[in-house]
Amino acid sequence: MLSNQYRQLRAALQPGLANPADPVYLVRDKMHAIHPTAIPDDAQVNELVNSPVYAVSVQTPQLRDDDSAVMMVHGGAFVSTTVEHYVPYAAALSRFFQRPVVVYAYRLAPEHPFPAALDDSLAVYQFLLERFAPHKLAVIGDSCGGGIGLSMLCELKDRKLPLPAAYAGLTPWLDLTMSGKAAVQDTGDDPFVCTEWIRARGLDYAADTPTDHPRVSPLFADLRDLPPLYFASGSQDITRDDSRRAAALASEAGTSVVLDIAPGMIHGYHGLSALAPECAAGCQRIADFLNAHLE
């Protein structure tokens, strides 16, 4: 049974934000408008000096462990948003995780196509390894950041570099070909994304690289020998089959995996944790998973 808060929220969120015909500047304007930038009064935001990419560490009074951290790969459809748009989200997640959350400004497509965002993520992760032991680092990714984060883990594995303790994808885009059943049979109900819009943003990011390349769409990557994975989506999220298929493939490959498809939830619902109890509960489940592997 969905809460009244969530029902009211869904009624207010009407489809139409994602127009595949929008030029990049308009995509950015729309995406920036729905991502608040006001920093909570009790949040502490510290720039990470000497980071190869601009990055900040965000923590709240709920902090109980500062010898570990969660690296967050932000969303924004590969082409929009940056640190200022994700500090409030990072602060909200830090309350659940009770740990610092690091968010950083990877280069955006189409000006900087693949592998720029992946390369920047690898650089930040390796910088964090100078501060934290790998078993004290977790990686999360929101939407397109979920795909970048999972690709980063596969690249770390291939380079034989230390892997983090765990990974969580928050309604992650893992297949930019959008070949899952939910995407192919798009009903147009998701207020934030639609199939053709994701394909268009995927092309912005991939540029001359095929969208089924395993580092562009990690659904097609080798998911063996990775740390424990958590794929969190919703039953109304158009990208939910990315998580379902990735979880099945990871499990078949012998990787520990949790699949969480929350009833009635839409794409990006974890970012709405202050507005509905179901969204907060989804964040808490991720926190429980990450904390189990970081402690």
Interval 114-131 mean pLDDT: 98
Tokens of 182: 């939910």
- Write down the pTM of the prediction: 0.97
> Residue holding tokens 């929009």?
80
Confidence bin at 14 (pLDDT 50/70/90): confident
CB atoms within 10 A of CB 79: 21
Instruction: Phi first, then psi: give them for residue 89, nearest 5 degrees.
Output: -65, -45
Tell me the per-residue pLDDT of 219-246, one tens digit each, with 9 for 90 and over.
999 999 999 999 999 999 999 999 999 9
Which of 146, 153, 97 minimizes the C-alpha distance to 295?
97
Q: What is the largest CA-CA distance in the chain?
A: 49
List for the chain the helix, strand, coil content (%; round to 5).
40, 15, 45
Tell me the per-residue pLDDT of 143-164, one tens digit each, with 9 for 90 and over.
999 999 999 999 999 999 999 9
Tell me the per-residue pLDDT of 171-204, one tens digit each, with 9 for 90 and over.
999 999 999 999 999 988 889 999 999 999 999 9
How far is the C-alpha of 277 from the C-alpha of 254, rounded, in Å?
Answer: 34
The residues near 288 (Cβ < 8 Å, ≥ 6 apart) are none
Window from 8-17, 120-129, 209-218 with minimum mean pLDDT: 8-17
